[in-house]
Chains A and B, each alone.
Chain A
């Protein structure tokens, strides 16, 4: 039996002041960031759908190369890069700007200032990204993985991001109260890390290119850290906020959460060079990257233990919450993908997994099963509070969850299995390369099928979202527990 949490009217929060002059109500903060958060969420969903189309084309072409083969616009290289950038910078960044900044504003306990700046920056971010992805499809793609966007679009992206980053720092500066909750640490650090990574990589690879080998080191330092020091901290910030918030129970060990954050901050930056194991760079540099990758086990175990202990005894409540279904799926995935990632940095394992579909599966494990699932959960929690309306369809939420969960599980199984087989066979000189390629085809077809599941899930998510956004009259009439108390009192529940 699950243990119901005890209501504690004497909250330990120093911000729950009875003085209305001092206290900033959450609903007031939500209202102040509503326009920006909605803009970013709509943009994120658009990019999610566009990225899904690019992904389906790419996946299908991997086993049917002649598909759309007459058009230069839809070659594998362009579609694959359009997919990556639409998902990472379109879906990923926009949903971070929506959910992450909303959480930041709530934790700063102050209605946001300069919301117009955030909105303008967001508009320019999406214009820059559109120009960049159209440029990729038109053939202006660079040859650098994760930095494929052509040089004429990147200054606009960098400027837009700078405005958003400055806004985040300003929100932190004008916060009420001295305490910094662990989610704020993660978000603030991510806002600092991402421009650092992006600008350094742009300078050293695109604008003033260093020597080739240094470019490679920079490239993987950047690409790996986009996941570890941008997407990961934002997803963990969301999980650390939503798990205790939904369950009404503080995180199991705040001490462990702080330890996990600082271990990530200190170790992760060094880990990216493990992508170049066997490459022509100094051995000590790779060894440092391997050591840092193994040291990452510490924050991963700490975070996993903390999340697990926080939900112990409340598993039924987790299942009943649309938010926590997604968030807990993502949190479990974080533990798994991180431990697999650390093991992939070991030289003997890397000899097999390098240059195979195993790495592709690993990337999707991190960006989708971990990051995206947590962010879906964030949207399910945020939207009713921003709009003071209920989600219109529980069925569509369930379709979204099961489509995503089954789709990504099938994809991860297929790519990890065939990746390992592919790696073992490529290390055997007696097996012809073409035979190895042909062996992958059934597994690549499985990946395409998994993409169909994910497509259905994303369409269900988008339909539910826009239904909620525009069909206000019908949705408002419902009663439901995801609504805020104040909304119920106003009779709009």
Chain B
């Protein structure tokens, strides 16, 4: 591959950079919106009154 041909990779490299920047932007957004605070309580948000914390909710059927 000639050195001049490396410029063919430019679109791909730019896409990678855009991808990287978008990930950093999302990281910044989530930080500003408080997603990185109160980790302990955030882990419990999947539990509800119907499927509460402390209750095992799956096992093999009776047969």
Q: Cβ of A371 < 8 Å from any Cβ of B?
A: no
Do A214 and B8 form a contact, CB below 8 Å, given A13-B46, A246-B56, A394-B60?
A: yes
In the complex, what residues of B have CB within 8 A of residue A253's CB? 39
Q: How far is the CB of A31 from chain B (nearest CB, A)?
A: 13
Q: Are B46 and A107 in contact (CB under 8 A)?
A: yes
In the complex, what residues of A have CB within 8 A of residue B40's CB? 12, 250, 254
Q: Are A211 and B59 in contact (CB under 8 A)?
A: no
Q: Cβ of A251 < 8 Å from any Cβ of B?
A: yes
In the complex, what residues of A have CB within 8 A of residue B61's CB? 390-394, 397, 478, 480, 482
Q: How far is the CB of B57 from chain A (nearest CB, A)?
A: 6
Q: Are A179 and B44 in contact (CB under 8 A)?
A: no
Q: Are B60 and A248 in contact (CB under 8 A)?
A: no
Instruction: Tell me the complex Cα distance, A358–B18, Å.
Output: 33
Q: Cβ of A21 < 8 Å from any Cβ of B?
A: no
In the complex, what residues of A have CB within 8 A of residue B51's CB? 26, 245, 484
Q: Are B44 and A250 in contact (CB under 8 A)?
A: yes
Q: Are B58 and A8 in contact (CB under 8 A)?
A: no
Instruction: Tell me the complex Cα distance, A265–B52, Å.
Output: 31
Q: Are B60 and A15 in contact (CB under 8 A)?
A: no
Q: Are A254 and B48 in contact (CB under 8 A)?
A: no
Instruction: Tell me the complex Cα distance, A337–B6, Å.
Output: 33
In the complex, what residues of A have CB within 8 A of residue B52's CB? 7-9, 11, 248
In the complex, what residues of B have CB within 8 A of residue A430's CB? none
Q: Are B50 and A265 in contact (CB under 8 A)?
A: no
Q: Are A12 and B8 in contact (CB under 8 A)?
A: no
Q: Are A25 and B50 in contact (CB under 8 A)?
A: yes
Q: Are B30 and A281 in contact (CB under 8 A)?
A: no
Q: How far is the CB of B18 from chain A (nearest CB, A)?
A: 9
- The contact string, 1 if C-beta is below 8 Å from chain A, for chain B 27-63, is 1001001111001111111111111111111111111
Instruction: Tell me the complex Cα distance, A213–B12, Å.
Output: 12
Q: Are B46 and A248 in contact (CB under 8 A)?
A: no
Instruction: Kindly report which residue of chain A lies nearest to residue B10, judged by CB atoms.
Output: A214
Size bracket, chain A contacts: 35 or more
Instruction: Tell me the complex Cα distance, A357–B17, Å.
Output: 33
A-B contact count (CB 8 A): 183
Complex interface: stretch among A319-327, A338-346, A405-413: A319-327
Q: Are B12 and A217 in contact (CB under 8 A)?
A: yes
A1-22: which residues lie under 8 A (CB-CB) from chain B?
5-9, 11-16
Instruction: Kindly report which residue of chain B lies nearest to residue A221, judged by CB atoms.
Output: B12
Instruction: Tell me the complex Cα distance, A231–B49, Å.
Output: 31
Q: Are A486 and B63 in contact (CB under 8 A)?
A: no
Q: Cβ of A317 < 8 Å from any Cβ of B?
A: yes
Q: Are A8 and B53 in contact (CB under 8 A)?
A: yes
Q: How far is the CB of B15 from chain A (nearest CB, A)?
A: 6
Which of B41, B57, B63 is close to A245, meaning CB atoms less than 8 Å apart? B57
Q: How far is the CB of A217 from chain B (nearest CB, A)?
A: 6
Instruction: Tell me the complex Cα distance, A258–B38, Å.
Output: 12
Which of B1, B36, B44 is close to A213, meaning CB atoms less than 8 Å apart? B1
Do A478 and B59 form a contact, CB below 8 Å, given A8-B52, A12-B41, A251-B43?
A: no
In the complex, what residues of A have CB within 8 A of residue B58's CB? 246, 321-324, 380-381, 481-482
Do A5 and B46 form a contact, CB below 8 Å, given A213-B8, A214-B8?
A: no
Q: Are A12 and B44 in contact (CB under 8 A)?
A: yes
A439-493: which residues lie under 8 A (CB-CB) from chain B?
478-482, 484-486
Instruction: Tell me the complex Cα distance, A380–B57, Å.
Output: 12
Which of B30, B46, B62 is close to A480, meaning CB atoms less than 8 Å apart? B62
- The contact string, 1 if C-beta is below 8 Å from chain B, for chain A 281-304, is 110010000000000000000000
Q: Are B9 and A478 in contact (CB under 8 A)?
A: no
Instruction: Tell me the complex Cα distance, A282–B16, Å.
Output: 16
Q: Are B42 and A254 in contact (CB under 8 A)?
A: yes
In the complex, what residues of B have CB within 8 A of residue A251's CB? 43
Q: Are B50 and A485 in contact (CB under 8 A)?
A: yes
Instruction: Name 27 A/B residue pairs within 8 A (Cβ), A-sorted.
Output: A5-B56, A11-B44, A12-B40, A13-B46, A15-B45, A16-B48, A177-B45, A178-B34, A181-B45, A183-B46, A213-B8, A214-B9, A214-B12, A221-B12, A245-B51, A248-B53, A248-B57, A250-B47, A253-B39, A320-B60, A322-B58, A393-B61, A393-B63, A394-B61, A481-B56, A482-B58, A482-B61
Q: Which residues of A contact B (CB under 8 A)?
A: 5-9, 11-16, 23, 25-27, 107, 177-181, 183, 185, 189, 196, 200, 204, 210-211, 213-214, 217-218, 221, 241, 244-251, 253-255, 257-258, 262, 265-266, 269-270, 280-282, 285, 317, 320-324, 380-381, 390-395, 397-398, 478-482, 484-486
Q: Which residues of B contact A (CB under 8 A)?
A: 1, 5-6, 8-9, 11-12, 15-16, 19-20, 23-24, 26-27, 30, 33-36, 39-63
